[in-house]
């Protein structure tokens, strides 16, 4: 199972996540976000990560050219896309694209035109007027579990150290992602919360491997 820590802005937090066993580190590349990293900060994270984990660039409604430029500059393994996702973007970029869908009910999910093959992320619905991503709002677990039975998903939306194990056991996702609940203040992650989240997610994934359900 993939364990992703998103909105990483410093080498210290990247180090804490990787030491605990994180697979993916998310770089927020949207200047309006409180978790945005400028070029210098992004490069500092890249230097820490090197080949120890995969870097994922996070965008809101980017062009393929923006994705490819960032992938080359920061050695990204993939792109996570919030907002309206052009279906052509999934196949137009030089690295895999992970579309993010914001859901809060079965009715919401039933209106989504799911891409046929891409790994997807399910996140909570942002507050009105808020920038997509890092909403802190949960996805109903039974809804996520229903989607996960049919295709691979990453589960995001308000996950933290204390509830990720239950989310993994209920949904059985391909991976989990956390950001806002690993922070002391908005955009300022706590290395201990990061460490606890990754360890709890890893333990939950190990438990799944022993459960034949």
pLDDT in tens, 141-180: 999 999 898 889 999 999 999 999 999 999 999 999 999 9
Supply the DSSP symbol for 173.
-
Strands in 113-206 per DSSP E? 120-123, 153-155, 175-178, 183-185, 188-189
Higher pLDDT, 114 or 15: 15
Please write the tens of the pLDDT for every residue from 85-113. Answer: 788 888 899 999 999 988 876 544 544 56
Strands in 46-187 per DSSP E? 54-60, 78-82, 97-102, 120-123, 153-155, 175-178, 183-185
Structure tokens belonging to residue 107: 């009715």
**Nearest residue to 102 via CA among 76, 129, 115, 120:** 120
Q: How far apart are the first and last CA of the chain?
A: 16
CATH class name, domain 2-209:
alpha beta
Average pLDDT over residues 48-60: 96
Structure tokens belonging to residue 101: 């869908």
User: pTM for the full model?
Assistant: 0.92
């Amino acid at each position: 199972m993939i364990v992703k820590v998103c909105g990483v802005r410093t080498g210290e937090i990247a180090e804490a996540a990787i030491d605990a066993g994180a697979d993916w580190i998310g770089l927020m590349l949207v200047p309006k976000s409180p978790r945005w990293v400028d070029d210098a900060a992004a490069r500092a994270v890249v230097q820490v990560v090197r080949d120890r984990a995969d870097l994922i660039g996070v965008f809101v409604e980017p062009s393929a050219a923006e994705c490819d430029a960032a992938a080359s500059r920061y050695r990204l393994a993939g792109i996570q896309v919030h907002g309206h996702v052009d279906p052509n973007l999934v196949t137009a970029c030089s690295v895999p694209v992970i579309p993010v869908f914001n859901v809060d009910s079965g009715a919401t999910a039933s209106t989504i035109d799911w891409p046929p093959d891409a790994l997807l992320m399910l996140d909570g619905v942002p507050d009105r007027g808020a920038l997509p991503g890092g909403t802190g709002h949960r996805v109903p677990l039974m809804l996520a579990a229903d989607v996960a039975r049919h295709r691979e998903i990453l589960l995001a939306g308000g996950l933290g150290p204390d509830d990720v194990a239950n989310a993994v056991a209920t949904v059985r996702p391909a991976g989990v992602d956390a950001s806002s609940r690993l922070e002391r203040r908005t955009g300022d992650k706590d290395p201990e919360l990061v460490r606890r989240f990754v360890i709890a997610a890893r333990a939950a994934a190990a438990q799944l491997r022993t459960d034949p359900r």
